[in-house]
């Protein structure tokens, strides 16, 4: 894409013949070297001064001056410095003052303002965002350059910020100040991450419902939160106001699993059915019958949801019609976890097996054998299948060959939850630890433990933006640095932590965290906690300083 830089800061067009830059490469480094002055005289000419300098008097030059200058030019750099030192020592104060008056202005010139805009922008690409903000305080022209939108788009790209909603433009004290939407995106994302790491948030919203029942599943999409419970209901909440918008009733048994896409919610229950709901209206769109025991797990992809049941089968359903399209039979015990990428289904069961299916033909492509106890958790990215088991191990499988690529050991108990992104796997375990792995090498990169580790089983986890969130039976939600493995802080700590309080489930977006909490002994009310890390939309440059 051609970069259009048609006008300078004064609004006048650049002279014809100047070539505009393409993309983010403002100018090649070789062009910089061609413009570098070699002597002080060259610098004076570059700064617009005449070669004819003002004489201090009208008399003729002293005899022998030209010979001395020619001799000076033949000396090396160190020899010239020595000669200048000797010369200064022999000068009177008025003569040294004259030297200063001639020399100082040349080095106080604003070199950026002397450069073509493309070249000035190229120089600024080497500055860190904090330094760009400092540079913007220098003068109006520097501010215009430092607000360049494509310059800030590049800074966002360097930080992995690919999209975002810029702030609305605020009234400025300087009406003619330029405005960069990408700069506002960068500042907002920086502030949000700082709030996550440092704890600058409002008091959590507390959403009370489901009486004293357990919240078994939790979904969060846009501004809607959906909680499912063993009280047979699901509740739809506003993430903005905290109000319960509606209660979804229809199941005759506890809700054990759910999925959500936009306003469509699918739930599975001990009553052996799945239900498809419209979260906006609260209407049950379809009731899906077919399983003969508890629906324990499901995974939604597009218009299809795959459900796994204690009846040992999986079923593929069309969400829009409510029709069961395929039945996958082959497990000999309850199906506990399932993943579906639109092409293949992967399931894990209490029969110690992991199976890879072609849902269209209902054929089991691979049975992945190796675990010696129940399989409780799965991740699948189209290349690797990762399974967590009660046998304490995590296994990484090649989905094409069905071969076990790595066996990840180190956990001491059941791996209840995992998340896989690119080659990084984060696993949460009943041994109270969280581990970070590289699935390509099989190496454990970090064990998230230490003095601030969880004191009981890890119940749920998520990771994004270089951060790991983990919840636990100990009543806390902890924040960790993914890169270093360091504990950052406790984001949530229930009053009854350590004495019965539990955080069952967590769901997070870039700006919000939703926690489902309660207790098994009556020490903590069942509730949802909503934390907002995007405090307001009027951040300023000072947020980066």
Domains assigned to the chain: 111-198 (1.20.1280.50), 202-535 (2.130.10.10)
What is the band of 9 on the pLDDT scale with cuts at 50, 70, 90? very low
Could you tell me the CA-to-CA distances from 164 to 8, 183, 199 in Å, in that order?
29, 11, 22
- Quick one: 306 exposed, middle or buried, by C-beta within 10 A (0-12, 13-18, 19+)? buried
Q: What is the mean pLDDT of residues 519-535?
A: 91
pLDDT score recorded for residue 289: 98
pLDDT score recorded for residue 12: 41
pLDDT score recorded for residue 464: 83
Asked if residue 302 has pLDDT above 60, the reply is yes
Beta strand segments in 164-263, E: 205-208, 215-221, 224-229, 234-238, 244-248, 255-261
What is the band of 45 on the pLDDT scale with cuts at 50, 70, 90? low
Using a pLDDT cut of 90, give the percent of the chain over it: 62
Q: What is the pairing mode between strands 335-340 and 244-248?
A: unpaired
110-140 burial string, b = 16+ CB within 10 Å, else e? eebeebbbbbbbbbbbeeebeebbbbbeeee
Residues in Cβ contact with 439 at an 8 Å cutoff, skipping those fewer than 6 apart: 384, 386, 396, 405, 406, 420, 423, 424, 425
Q: What is the mean pLDDT of residues 327-335?
A: 98
Asked if residue 11 has pLDDT above 60, the reply is no
Q: What is the mean pLDDT of residues 418-435?
A: 97
29 φψ region: left (φ > 0), alpha (ψ -120 to 50), beta (else): alpha
Q: Is 492 helix (H, G, I), strand (E, B) or coil?
A: strand
**Closest CA relative to residue 378, chosen from 353, 348, 400, 403:** 348
DSSP 278-314: ETTTTEEEEEE---SS-EEEEEEETTEEEEEETTSEE
Tokens for 18? Answer: 């100047």
What distance in Å separates the CA atoms of residue 86 and residue 397, rounded to the nearest whole number?
Answer: 78
Q: Alpha helices of 164-247 — where are they, by DSSP H? A: 181-198
pLDDT score recorded for residue 147: 84
- CA 457 from chain centre, in angstroms, equals 26
Tokens for 69? Answer: 């200058």
Digit-coded pLDDT (tens) for 81-134: 999 999 999 999 999 998 888 888 776 667 677 788 888 888 888 888 888 888
Q: What is the pairing mode between strands 467-472 and 458-464?
A: antiparallel
Decide which of 146 and 408 is more confident. Answer: 408
What is the band of 28 on the pLDDT scale with cuts at 50, 70, 90? very low
pLDDT score recorded for residue 208: 95
Tokens for 447? Answer: 């064990």
Asked if residue 17 has pLDDT above 70, the reply is no
pLDDT score recorded for residue 43: 55
Among the residue ranges 121-130, 256-265, 438-447, the one predicted with the least confidence is 121-130
Inter-residue contact 84 to 96 (CB < 8 Å)? no
Inter-residue contact 53 to 144 (CB < 8 Å)? no
Q: What is the mean pLDDT of residues 148-172?
A: 68
Beta bridge partners of 519: 501
Asked if residue 15 has pLDDT above 70, the reply is no
Decide which of 512 and 536 is more confident. Answer: 512
Inter-residue contact 150 to 186 (CB < 8 Å)? no
Asked if residue 412 has pLDDT above 90, the reply is yes
**Would you state the torsion angle of the CA atoms of residues 85, 86, 91, 93, taken in this order, to the nearest 10 degrees?**
40
Q: What is the mean pLDDT of residues 206-220?
A: 95
Q: Is 250 helix (H, G, I), strand (E, B) or coil?
A: coil
Inter-residue contact 263 to 280 (CB < 8 Å)? yes
Q: What is the mean pLDDT of residues 420-433?
A: 96
What is the band of 288 on the pLDDT scale with cuts at 50, 70, 90? very high
Question: Within a 10 A sphere around the Cβ of 231, how many other Cβ atoms?
Answer: 21
Asked if residue 328 has pLDDT above 90, the reply is yes
**Would you state the torsion angle of the CA atoms of residues 130, 135, 140, 145, taken in this order, to the nearest 10 degrees?**
-80
Decide which of 497 and 22 is more confident. Answer: 497
Asked if residue 40 has pLDDT above 80, the reply is no
Beta strand segments in 449-526, E: 458-464, 467-472, 476-481, 487-493, 501-508, 512-519
Asked if residue 515 has pLDDT above 50, the reply is yes
Q: Which helix (H) or strand (E) holds 146?
A: helix 140-146
Asked if residue 160 has pLDDT above 70, the reply is yes
Q: What is the mean pLDDT of residues 408-426?
A: 96
Which sign, positive or negative, has the C-alpha torsion 134, 140, 141, 144? positive
Tokens for 513? Answer: 């965290």
What distance in Å separates the CA atoms of residue 282 and residue 422, rounded to the nearest whole number?
Answer: 36
Q: Is 449 helix (H, G, I), strand (E, B) or coil?
A: coil
Asked if residue 166 has pLDDT above 60, the reply is no
pLDDT score recorded for residue 402: 97
Q: What is the CA radius of gyration of the chain?
A: 33
**Closest CA relative to residue 214, chosen from 462, 479, 458, 459:** 459
**Closest CA relative to residue 402, chosen from 381, 383, 425:** 383
Q: What is the mean pLDDT of residues 280-304?
A: 98
pLDDT score recorded for residue 480: 97
Inter-residue contact 379 to 370 (CB < 8 Å)? no
pLDDT score recorded for residue 26: 44
Tell whether pTM > 0.85: no
Decide which of 543 and 422 is more confident. Answer: 422
Could you tell me the CA-to-CA distances from 540 to 49, 185, 257, 302, 510 in Å, in that order?
40, 11, 43, 40, 20
Helices 181-198 and 149-158 cross at an angle (nearest 10°) of: 30
């Amino acid at each position: 894409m051609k970069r259009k830089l048609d006008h300078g800061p004064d609004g006048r067009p650049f002279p014809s013949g100047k070539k505009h830059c393409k993309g983010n490469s403002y100018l090649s480094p070789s062009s910089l070297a061609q413009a570098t002055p070699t002597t002080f005289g060259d610098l004076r000419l570059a700064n617009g001064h005449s070669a004819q300098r003002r004489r201090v008097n009208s008399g003729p030059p002293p005899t022998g001056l030209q010979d001395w200058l020619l001799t000076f030019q033949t000396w090396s750099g160190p020899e010239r410095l020595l000669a200048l030192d000797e010369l200064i020592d022999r000068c009177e104060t008025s003569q040294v003052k004259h030297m200063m008056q001639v020399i100082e202005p040349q080095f106080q010139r604003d070199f950026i303002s002397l450069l073509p805009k493309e070249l000035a922008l190229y120089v600024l690409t080497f500055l860190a965002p904090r330094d760009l903000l400092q540079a913007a305080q220098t003068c109006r022209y520097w501010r215009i350059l430092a607000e360049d939108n494509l310059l800030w788009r590049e800074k966002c790209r360097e930080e992995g910020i690919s999209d975002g909603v810029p702030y609305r433009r605020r009234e400025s004290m300087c009406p003619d100040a330029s405005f960069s939407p990408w700069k506002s995106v960068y500042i907002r994302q920086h502030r949000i991450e700082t709030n996550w790491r440092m704890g600058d948030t409002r008091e959590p919203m507390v959403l009370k419902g489901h009486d004293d029942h357990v919240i078994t599943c939790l979904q969060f999409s846009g501004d809607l939160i959906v909680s499912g419970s063993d009280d047979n209901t699901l509740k739809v909440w506003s993430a903005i106001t905290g109000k319960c918008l509606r209660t979804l009733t229809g199941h005759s048994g506890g809700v054990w699993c759910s999925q959500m896409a936009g306003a469509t919610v699918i739930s599975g229950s001990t009553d052996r059915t799945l239900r498809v709901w419209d979260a906006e209206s609260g209407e049950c769109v379809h009731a899906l019958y077919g399983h003969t025991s508890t629906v324990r797990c499901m995974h939604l992809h597009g218009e299809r949801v795959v459900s796994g049941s204690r009846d040992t089968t999986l079923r593929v359903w069309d969400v829009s019609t409510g029709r069961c399209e395929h039945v996958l039979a082959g497990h000999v015990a309850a199906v506990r976890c399932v993943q579906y990428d639109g092409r293949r289904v992967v399931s894990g069961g209490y029969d110690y097996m992991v199976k890879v299916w072609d849902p269209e033909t209902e054929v089991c492509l691979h049975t992945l054998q190796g675990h010696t106890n129940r399989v409780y958790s799965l991740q699948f990215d189209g290349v690797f299948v990762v399974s967590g088991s009660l046998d304490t191990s995590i296994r990484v499988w090649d989905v094409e060959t069905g071969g076990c690529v790595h066996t990840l050991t180190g956990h001491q108990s059941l791996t209840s939850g995992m998340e896989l992104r690119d080659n990084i796997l984060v696993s949460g375990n009943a041994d109270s630890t969280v581990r970070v792995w590289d699935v390509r090498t099989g190496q454990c990169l970090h064990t998230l433990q230490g003095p601030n580790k969880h004191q009981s089983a890890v119940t749920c986890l998520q990771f994004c933006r270089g951060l790991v969130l983990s919840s636990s039976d100990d009543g806390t939600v902890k924040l960790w640095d993914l890169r270093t493995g360091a504990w950052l802080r406790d984001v949530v700590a229930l009053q009854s932590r350590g004495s019965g309080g539990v955080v069952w489930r967590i769901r997070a977006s870039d700006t919000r965290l939703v926690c489902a909490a309660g207790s098994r002994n009556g020490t903590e009310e069942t509730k949802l906690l909503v934390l907002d890390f995007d405090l307001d939309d009027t951040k300023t440059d000072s947020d980066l300083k």
